Structure 1
Amino acid sequence: MIVERTNNLFDMDRAALEQLFVRMGEKKFRASQLMKWIYHSYETDFSQFNNFSLKMRSELAEQFTLELPEVISQQESEDGTVKWLLQVDEQNAVEVVYIPEATRGTLCVSSQVGCSLNCTFCATGAQGFNRHLSTAEIVAQVWVAAKMLGHTRTERKITNIVMMGMGEPLANYDRVLPALNIMRDDFGFGFANRRVTVSTSGLVNKIDQLNADADVALAISLHAPNDALRDTLVPLNKKYNIKQLLDACKRFVKDKKKSRITFEYTLIRDVNDRPEHARELVRLLSHVPCKINLIPFNPFPGNAFKRSTAVAVEQFKQICQASQYITTVRKTRGDDIAAACGQLAGDFMDRTRRSASIRQLQLEVV
């Protein structure tokens, strides 16, 4: 576990805050009081914490901050999807997206500035990687979105959190875990365990660690039914192949009642969307309690892939459903504001300079 020195209280989950107050000579319960001000009342001015003494308020203000990123822009799609661009430092910004539906409101949260995994169908991966987000920068995405939506007072409620924005969450594990704790803490945002989903491209060792550390839902970015194809779409597969990944998934759901893994499968025209791919997929997943989420590819500038036809998507879905898998097709939401799955690009200084090589890989796959 990486321990970083910070004075931003958004970086600290309840356990860390309790330790902080003990060091200050205070009782542990002060942590839950402070969290209620921050996450229930959306208050960041220490002077307003009126159940704290004036002396304690002064000490907090002198020694700590409640620093939030600047909101550069807010865009709203015709379908109600909202995307915010948040400035996290002088050179970098990340995107967070709210997706409203009839019975739920999902917030898609980023974990890194860019992504280092090179998935060839993803706008974030094509742009490269700069750095990990801090716990505070992850938590702040939820805080800012909830406050701007009027989450506690209007019909635009956030009911689900998905770590599916920019970046690979499990590659930033030590900062993501405290953020997950805050999201699920009754004195934090108070989301139910199964309402918080971590999506990974397949960091097997970290899947096992997450299983031990946090009771959350798991989604796997699979996108191919065999190693040869997945190697070209998700290069991480060369380190952790499909068998290793599925074994980790089985360990994750073992002894968990009614628990299922969600397998995300982006459908790319003439690459992975043929009926034989669907039949291979259902055989592959036959021993893993799961559901399948099909995602029609969302194009972005400079990308050679194309979205599967509606006929191909429906045929793929029918093959999966015929094998008794719960199978959904993710609606394309917010693509008019580049907020759809795989389109998040943010604004950042790429330290990896990979764009040209990734475009070449895309052409080779097609």
Structure 2
Amino acid sequence: MSPRRHQVDRSPSQVDVAKLAGVSTQTVSRVMSGQDSVRPDTARRVLAAVDELGYRVHAAAASLASGRTRVLGVIVVSTDRYSSAALGVGIQQAAAANGYTVSTAAVADHASAEAFLDAFDRLERQGAEGIILGIPVELETPAMRARMERTPATRSERTSLDGDAPLAVDQHAIARLAVEHLLDLGHKTVWHVSGDDYWTETQQRSEAWEQTLRDRGIVPPPVIPADWTPESGYRAGRTIAAIPEVTAVFVSSDEMAFGLIRALHEAGRNVPEDVSVVSVDDIALAAYASPALTTVRQPFEDMGRAAALRLIAQIEGHEAIGEMPSTDPQLIVRASTAPPPAVS
């Protein structure tokens, strides 16, 4: 027989907890908000009543009582790229661990600056106490600066708007790691398949690729443009396959590298025997490509956690919570790179 129920089922309330614990509702509220003005034995009785009843704090009611929403806003570009999803996981983890929820505003790819400002305003109206700008474009404008002055905000990427950000992966370092690895293997030059020019990281990686070659006394070959998709990598691969002297390629994302390797294979160019390939990100599939990809790992989840922790510290007026995770890029050497055929 099923247990008896009240005539009207309802969730337990703060009043129910107070009655069971033998305290006032104000005491329950102080315990649930973590205030230290309650005697330990009283707090234990309240928490025991909470567990017994299965009471859960209603976020809207709590925000009305405290004047705080404990909501972090995140502005992202609407994309199916792995990096955006992994960054979001890190933000969610850090927020939840510190008693915050996350509200996201997605902006269309290649959107105008006004669209990002509108997203910022929308998150403010939803009660965000601080906002993470997980966006790939420069927004060094008076309008954005004014918003960042009235609402705590931080970026998950290094740009001139937040040039001293300790959170972002150094995109110039990513390109240097990739290009130097190929040159040190003995390749005379390194070709580059770039990402979408809309993204700041594309520009930074291309700049560092070119400078690294020039520092070695090498005139850079033409950049082969792409747009982050495997299809664009495939098209770039067909171009590379038609240039016999190419022995090394720096591709700006793992997903594009998958397409590029497919095109090289179809053209009878073997990786790495004929052409070595280094890419960026180290997504989960990179280790299971054929051949396994040499790539520069970006710690996306750590970046998200770091951005959230930094923002929470801004909101609450103290130093960052706990040890900030490292966001240094790391070269992961696998089977897609080798010395060029002439020096094998």
- After TM superposition, the score normalised by the length of structure 1 is 0.28
Higher percent of residues as strand:
1
Q: Which has the higher contact order (CA 8 A, sep 6+)?
A: 1
Question: If you compute each CA radius of gyration, which structure gives the higher value, 1 or 2?
Answer: 2
Higher percent of residues as helix:
2
